[in-house]
Amino acid sequence: MQPRTPLTLCVLLSQVLLVTSAGDLDCTPGFQQKVLHIHQPAEFIEDQPVLNLTFSDCKGNKKLHYEVSSPYFKVNSDGTLVAVRNITAVGRTLFVHARTPHAEDMAELVIVGGKDIQGSLQDIFKFARTSPVPRQKRSIVVSPILIPENQRQPFPRDVGKVVDSDRPEGSKFRLTGKGVDQDPKGTFRINENTGSVSVTRTLDRETIATYQLFVETTDASGRTLEGPVPLEVIVIDQNDNRPIFREGPYIGHVMEGSPTGTTVMRMTAFDADDPATDNALLRYNIRQQTPDKPSPNMFYIDPEKGDIVTVVSPALLDRETLENPKYELIIEAQDMAGLDVGLTGTATATIVIDDKNDHSPKFTKKEFQATVEEGAVGVIVNLTVEDKDDPATGAWRAAYTIINGNPGQSFEIHTNPQTNEGMLSVVKPLDYEISAFHTLLIKVENEDPLVPDVSYGPSSTATVHITVLDVNEGPVFYPDPMMVTKQENISVGSVLLTVNATDPDSLQHQTIRYSVYKDPAGWLSINPINGTVDTTAVLDRESPFVHNSVYTALFLAIDSGNPPATGTGTLMITLEDVNDNAPVIYPTVAEVCDDARNLSVVILGASDKDLHPNTDPFKFEIHKQTVPDKVWKISKINNTHALVSLLQNLNKANYNLPIMVTDSGKPPMTNITDLRVQVCSCKNSKVDCNAAGTLHLSLSLLLLFSLLSLLSGL
C-alpha cells in the first residue's frame, strides 16, 4: 500500500449552513465546490487571481462576506481569491468561510506541493492551536473541525470525519471529551462505524470558543485499540453581539476658547465577538449633536480610537455666546469595521463648555448713594455688578475692596454669595458732629484671575456717597467712672464732687439736668443744675452696701432734646476706715467643774469690723471682780486671743466676769462684756449644773470650742 500523505488523509471540511424556504428547493445554498486544489507556484503575485470560488445563498448573495484562514489572501466580492502581497509559501491548506444573512459555508483549498507553515491557520482565526500533523505510525487521522456558531436546524448535522486506514474489522470509533461525555454533554457525537462527527445543537462562541475532543478505536469489548488522538473543534465567530458602552455616564469638559483639535474625552465600546475578526472591529461616529448651534459639527470623533475633539474655531467655542454651554452627542459604535452589515450600539456623551475668566465684573452704575444714622452699624447699601462668566465659578464671583475714603476703618464690604452684590457695612459708629458726609471708592475683581488678554477697566470701580443723619445722642459723663476717696463718717451735707456731662450734639445747644439713678444706701443727692453731689447720711464703710471699701452709685444726665436723651455715669466712692467699731469677745459663756484639777476656764477671742490699724492687737482685762482677789486670771495668748483661768476651785454656782477688750486704734475703742461662768458638779463622768443654771457643757467641750475659735482666728 502506498503511504498516504497528510493532505490525502485530511478531513474534507464541507459544511453548509443554510436557511431555505420551500421555494428554494432547486437551489442548494453554499459553495458549489467544497474542495479545490491549487498547485504551489514559485510565487503568488499580489492581486493576481488564484482561482474563483462560487457561493450562493439562493437569496441573491446580499451582504456576502468572506473570511480566509491565511493573512496572505483575500476573497473579493466576486469570489476571486487573490494574494495580498507577493509570497512564496503559504502552507498546505486554506479555509474560506462565506456568510450572508441567509446562509454560510466553508470551502477547503488544498495547496498541492505546499509546505506546512506552523500557525498559518491560527494567525488569521487566532485559534488556540494549529492543525495537527499526524505522526507516521498512527493510522487515525484527524483535522481540526471548524463550525460556525449560531447554526440553525436541522440537527444533528455532520461537521467532519475521522479516517483510520488500518482499522481492524469490527472495531469502532469512540469520541470523548468536553461536549461529549463532559458538560456540555451530548453536543458532539461520532458514528462509531464511519467516523463521521456531527453536532447536535447550536454553538455559541462567546460561551465556549473551542472544544478539545479525543478519538480512539475500540474492539467489540470496548478495549482501546488505538488512540486517543486529539480532535479540536473550533467555533467560528459570527457577528451576533452588538457593541455596548459599559462605562457611562460619559461626561467631558472642554475650556471655552480651546484651540481646534483639543481632545475632550474618549468613548470606548465593548464587543463580545472574536476580537481577532471584523466582528469586533469597531468604528465610531457621531450620529447627532444637540444643540446644533452655532455649528452642527462642533466635534469630531476619531473612528478608530473614539477620541472626541473640537473642530470649530476658538471664537465659536465661546460659552457666553452659546445658546447652551452643554452639548449632548449620540455616539454610535459599529462593528465589522463600520460596514453597513455591522451591528451598532449607541451612547450619549455630554460635553460641558467650561468657563474661563474672560469677562471682568462691571458695576451697574458709577455712583451709589447711602444714608446712615450716626451711632448705627450694619449694611447700608448693596452694590450691584454684572459679569457674563459662569455663576458657578470663581470667574463670576466678585471680590470687593475699599481703595479710598476709609482711613478710620469705619466701613467694610463683603460679597453676597447668592447675588454677587457688594454689601457695604458700617462697623464703627459714625459721628455726625465730626463728619456728616463720607465718600468711598470701591474696586471689584473676580476671585479667579483674568485670562492674559483681558484686563480690568474703569467700569470695575464705583463711588459711594454716604450721608450721616444727626440723631439726639445722650449726654456723656467725663470721666466715667468718676472716682473719689473720702473718710467714712464725714458729716452729713459734705460735698463729694461735681459731676461733668457734655452733650455730643454740639450743634443743637441743649441744656443738661442731673438726677440720682441708683443710690443703694440712700446716702447721696445731686444738684440737678450744676451736678454737685453731697451726702444726705453718714457714710459707713462697714455697711452691707459697701464692697471692698467702695460704694457705687449711678447718676443720670438728661438733655433737653425732643425726645430727651439720657446718659448714665458711675460714681465710685472709696471709704477710708475710721476707728468707729469697738471689738467684741466670744464666747460669752463658759463651764468648769467645781473640783477640776485643770483650772483653765475658757479661751476668749476678739474681733473688730474696722480695718488695720484700728483692730488688733487687742488688750484683754478683767474689769471688776466680785469675788476676792486672786480668784480669776486672764492671760494673753496672741494678738486676738486670751485664756481665762481660776486660781482656786469655786463652789457650784453661776458667776459673771466682766471682760474688757480694747483695740489698737487712735484713739482706741473699748468694750466690756460679761463672761458667764458656770461652776458645775462633775462626778462619775456626769456633769450636773442644775444648781448653777441650765447650761451643761463640760469643761473639755468648752475648751475644745475655744481652741477651735483660736485656730480659726489665726
DSSP strands (E only) in 560-694:
566-576, 584-586, 589-593, 600-607, 619-622, 632-636, 641-646, 653-662, 670-683, 686-688
Q: Which whole-number Å values give the CA distances from 23 to 286, 563, 620, 640, 705, in the listed order? A: 42, 114, 149, 140, 135
Question: Does the structure show a pLDDT above 60 at 292?
Answer: yes
pLDDT value of position 713:
47
Which residues neighbour 458 within 8 Å (Cβ) at sequence distance 6 or greater?
Answer: none
Query: Listing from the earlier edge strand, what are the strands of the sheet with 632-636?
Result: 584-586, 600-607, 641-646, 632-636
pLDDT value of position 589:
93
Report DSSP state, residue 577: P
Output helix, strand, coil percentages for the chain, rounded to the nearest 5.
5, 45, 50
Q: What is the largest CA-CA distance in the chain?
A: 171
Show the cell assigned to 445.
Answer: 475683581
Q: Which domains occur in the chain, in start order?
A: 36-112 (2.60.40), 140-236 (2.60.40.60), 244-354 (2.60.40.60), 366-469 (2.60.40.60), 476-576 (2.60.40.60), 584-679 (2.60.40.60)
**What 3 state SS string does 509-520 have?**
CCCEEEEEEECC
Question: For cell 503575485, what's the residue?
Answer: 45
Q: What is the DSSP string of 534-569?
A: EESS---TTSTT-BTTEEEEEEEEEE--SS--EEEE
Per-residue pLDDT of 627-666, as tens digits, reads: 555 788 999 999 999 999 988 888 888 888 899 999 998 9
Question: Does the structure show a pLDDT above 90 at 475?
Answer: yes
With beta carbons less than 8 A apart as the criterion, state whether 205 and 243 touch: no
Q: What is the DSSP string of 196-262?
A: EEEE-S---TTT-SEEEEEEEEE-TTS-EEEEEEEEEEEEEP-S----B--S--EEEEEETTPPTT-
**What 3 state SS string does 51-119 have?**
EECCEECCCCCCCCEEEECCCCEEECCCCEEEECCCECCCCCEEEEEEECCCEEEEEEEEEECCCCCCC
Per-residue pLDDT of 85-140, as tens digits, reads: 888 877 777 888 888 888 888 888 888 877 654 333 344 344 333 333 333 345 78
How much of the chain exceeds pLDDT 90, in percent? 56
With beta carbons less than 8 A apart as the criterion, state whether 439 and 464 touch: yes
Q: What is the DSSP string of 433-467?
A: TT-SEEEEEEEEEESSPPPTT----GGGEEEEEEE
Measured in degrees and rounded to the nearest 5, phi and psi for residue 348 equal -100, 125
pLDDT value of position 96:
87
| Residue 535: band (very low, low, confident or very high) from pLDDT cuts 50, 70, 90 | very high
pLDDT value of position 684:
77
Question: Does the structure show a pLDDT above 60 at 596?
Answer: yes
Number of H helices, E strands in the chain: 3, 53
Report DSSP state, residue 624: -
Per-residue pLDDT of 409-459, as tens digits, reads: 999 999 999 999 999 999 999 998 889 999 999 999 999 999 887 888 878
Beta bridge partners of 105: 16, 98
Mean pLDDT of 580-587: 92
* Torsion sign (Cα): 437, 441, 446, 447: negative
557: how many CB neighbours lie within 10 A of its CB?
25
Cα Rg for the chain, rounded, in angstroms? Answer: 60
Please tell me the distance from the alpha carbon of residue 634 to that of residue 644, in angstroms, as a whole number: 4
Q: What b/e sequence results for 619-654 when a residue is b if at least 16 CB atoms lie within 10 Å of its CB, and e otherwise?
A: bbeeeeeeeeeebbebeebeebbbbbebeeebebeb
Please tell me the distance from the alpha carbon of residue 443 to that of residue 191, in angstroms, as a whole number: 96
Per-residue pLDDT of 209-266, as tens digits, reads: 999 999 999 998 889 998 899 999 999 888 999 999 999 899 999 999 999 999 999 9
How much of the chain exceeds pLDDT 70, in percent? 89
Please tell me the distance from the alpha carbon of residue 523 to that of residue 552, in angstroms, as a whole number: 11
**What 3 state SS string does 269-291 have?**
CECCCCCCCHHHCCEEEEEEEEC
Closest CA to 260 of 306, 291, 303, 298: 298
Per-residue pLDDT of 150-182, as tens digits, reads: 988 899 998 888 888 778 888 999 999 999 999
Report DSSP state, residue 24: G
Q: Please report, in angstroms and rounded to a whole number, the separation of the first and last CA atoms in the chain.
A: 140
pLDDT value of position 80:
93
Given its phi and psi angles, is residue 269 left (phi above 0), alpha (psi -120 to 50 degrees) or beta? beta
Please tell me the distance from the alpha carbon of residue 352 to that of residue 329, in angstroms, as a whole number: 11
Q: Which whole-number Å values give the CA distances from 492 to 241, 275, 489, 686, in the listed order? A: 114, 116, 8, 59
The upper half-sphere exposure of residue 535, i.e. CA atoms within 13 Å in the direction of its Cβ, equals 20
- Mean pLDDT is lowest, of 580-584, 607-611, 701-705, for 701-705
Per-residue pLDDT of 668-713, as tens digits, reads: 999 999 999 999 988 877 888 875 444 333 334 444 444 444 445 4
pLDDT value of position 291:
94
pLDDT value of position 95:
82
Length of the chain in residues, anyone? 714
Beta bridge partners of 97: 67, 106
pLDDT value of position 37:
86
Mean pLDDT of the chain: 85
Per-residue pLDDT of 359-387, as tens digits, reads: 899 999 999 999 999 989 999 999 999 99
Q: What is the DSSP string of 288-318?
A: EEES--S-S-SEEE-TTT-EEEE-S-TTT--
**Cα–Cα–Cα angle for 222, 226, 230, nearest 5°?**
105
Beta bridge partners of 265: 308
